[in-house]
């Protein structure tokens, strides 16, 4: 291996000693924990709709979406149709040649979000060839937390060992609905802020536009797409609750999905507040290292925030993305690498390291680098990139 390649690995490794560090995490980090990727989640939620009153509506919505659409797109479509139905005199819309009332749309939306929550809570492993799917349930959960625990230990016990009182909280931004990251932080006794105040039942105390209260915290968990334990209460309140709680009164499960209403910036909109924190961290006055793992760069809203931060005059963000390359990198990564800000972008894949507009380095001729996986990133943080030779 060329010396330049070794130096580049060490350069990436040193970035994670930064005192100002954040992570963007996606569904891939929970795959080995027994949770599905978006395609598997979509298939299972559709399976759970079979024979239910909302099945016809879900099928009709899926039929009008592109083949690449997933369950968040279905929720988006239901949300947009609900907004239209609420405005028109008939309080209904035509989908697939049939009229559906606002109540039909809202019921389907709630049924889908509840199916998502149940699937994520107990775990689901998609079928693989002749191996049937595994479906977790209450009392027989498939989810495991050890990979998340190893990841946070690598950060706090290896990279920040003995220094946390002089460093800022590490921000974990995640598009995942599961609670494994928060659970791992709690199990490791790492204090963290998540925008809620209380105990097992907690209320959303952080408001859009307010400065988060991170004092004394080692981490901040910002769930960009909501969580399986968030519910929307009366008068727009957001609560974090236990699975079996019948209180407080709530109106369906809170999960974000890519629709126009997510851009509404009001104090009753937790998602606007979450993205506001994301934007503030990316726009901070000091150098920031942002690690990315398990995220497929498929969320336009998140990508727009990253693009804006990377291209901003005087931007101080270094993006280090761990992802699978396959035949090509995601389009936005190719664009950022080739831009005038490309020197601030590192992409570590199973094949090579991409940095700016240079030729790929550390090219793997045989086999694959393991650092693109969640476990691989944990090993990288613990041992540096040399363990992947």
pLDDT digits 0-9 by tens, 328-363: 899 999 999 999 999 999 999 999 999 998 999 999
pLDDT at 164: 52
H helices of the chain, in order, are 3-15, 38-49, 55-63, 71-87, 102-122, 146-153, 180-187, 270-282, 300-311, 331-338, 374-383
Cα separation, 63 vs 113, in Å, equals 19
Query: What ranges do the domains of the chain cover?
Result: 3-34+143-388, 38-135
Measured CA angle at 149 (ends 143, 155), to 5 deg: 150
Residue 67 near residue 98, CB atoms below 8 Å: no
* Residue of 38, 317, 310, 70 whose CA lies nearest to 171: 317
- pTM score, two decimals? 0.91
pLDDT digits (tens, 9 = 90+) for 188-215: 999 999 999 998 899 999 988 898 888 8
Half-sphere exposure of 212 (CA within 13 A, CB side): 26
pLDDT at 333: 97
Local mean pLDDT, 10-residue blocks, the chain (389 residues): 65 91 96 94 95 96 94 90 94 96 94 92 91 91 97 88 67 96 96 93 91 89 92 82 78 57 48 92 94 94 95 91 93 96 96 94 91 96 69
pLDDT at 254: 67
Query: DSSP labels for 308-369?
Result: HHHHSTT--EEEEEE---TTS--HHHHHHHHSTTGGGEEEE-SS-EEETTSPPBS--SSS--
Cis peptide leading into 248, omega within 30 of 0?
yes
Half-sphere exposure of 53 (CA within 13 A, CB side): 10
* Residue of 256, 283, 243 whose CA lies nearest to 79: 256
pLDDT at 149: 98
pLDDT at 351: 95
pLDDT digits (tens, 9 = 90+) for 355-372: 998 999 999 988 999 999
Cα separation, 349 vs 347, in Å, equals 6
pLDDT at 242: 83
CA distances from 34 to 69, 178, 180, 379 (A): 22, 11, 11, 20
């Amino acid at each position: 291996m060329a010396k330049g390649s070794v130096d580049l690995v060490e350069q990436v490794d040193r970035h994670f000693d930064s005192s100002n560090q954040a992570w963007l995490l996606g569904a891939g980090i929970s795959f080995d924990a027994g949770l599905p990727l978006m395609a598997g989640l979509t298939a299972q939620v559709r399976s759970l709709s079979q024979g239910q009153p909302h099945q016809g509506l879900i099928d009709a919505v899926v039929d009008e979406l592109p083949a690449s659409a997933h369950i968040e797109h279905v929720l988006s479509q239901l949300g947009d149709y609900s907004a239209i139905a609420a405005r028109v005199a008939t309080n209904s819309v035509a989908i697939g040649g049939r009229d559906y009332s606002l109540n039909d749309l809202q019921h389907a939306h709630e049924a889908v979000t509840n199916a998502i929550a149940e699937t994520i809570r107990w775990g689901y492993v998609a079928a693989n060839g002749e191996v049937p799917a595994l479906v977790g349930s209450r009392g027989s959960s498939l989810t495991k937390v050890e990979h998340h625990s190893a990841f946070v230990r690598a950060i706090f016990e290896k990279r920040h060992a003995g220094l946390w009182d002089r460093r800022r909280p590490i921000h974990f931004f995640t598009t995942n609905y599961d609670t494994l990251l928060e659970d791992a932080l709690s199990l490791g006794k790492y204090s963290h802020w998540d925008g809620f105040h209380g105990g097992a039942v907690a209320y959303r105390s952080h408001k859009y536009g307010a400065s988060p209260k991170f004092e004394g915290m080692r981490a901040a968990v910002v769930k960009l797409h909501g969580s399986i334990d968030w519910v929307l209460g009366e008068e727009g309140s957001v609560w974090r609750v236990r699975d079996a709680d019948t209180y407080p009164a709530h109106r369906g499960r809170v999960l974000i999905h890519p629709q126009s209403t997510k851009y509404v910036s009001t104090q009753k909109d937790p998602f606007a507040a979450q993205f506001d924190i994301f934007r503030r961290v990316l726009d901070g006055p000091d150098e920031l290292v942002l690690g990315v793992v398990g995220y497929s760069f498929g969320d336009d809203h998140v990508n727009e925030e990253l693009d804006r931060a990377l291209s901003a005059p005087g931007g101080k963000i270094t993006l280090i993305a761990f992802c699978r390359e396959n035949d090509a990198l995601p389009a936005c990564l190719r664009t950022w690498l080739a831009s005038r800000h490309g020197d601030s972008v590192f992409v570590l894949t199973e094949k090579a390291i991409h940095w700016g507009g240079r030729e790929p380095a550390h090219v793997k001729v045989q086999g694959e680098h393991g650092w693109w996986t969640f476990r691989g990133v944990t090993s990288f943080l613990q041992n540096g990139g040399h363990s992947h030779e």
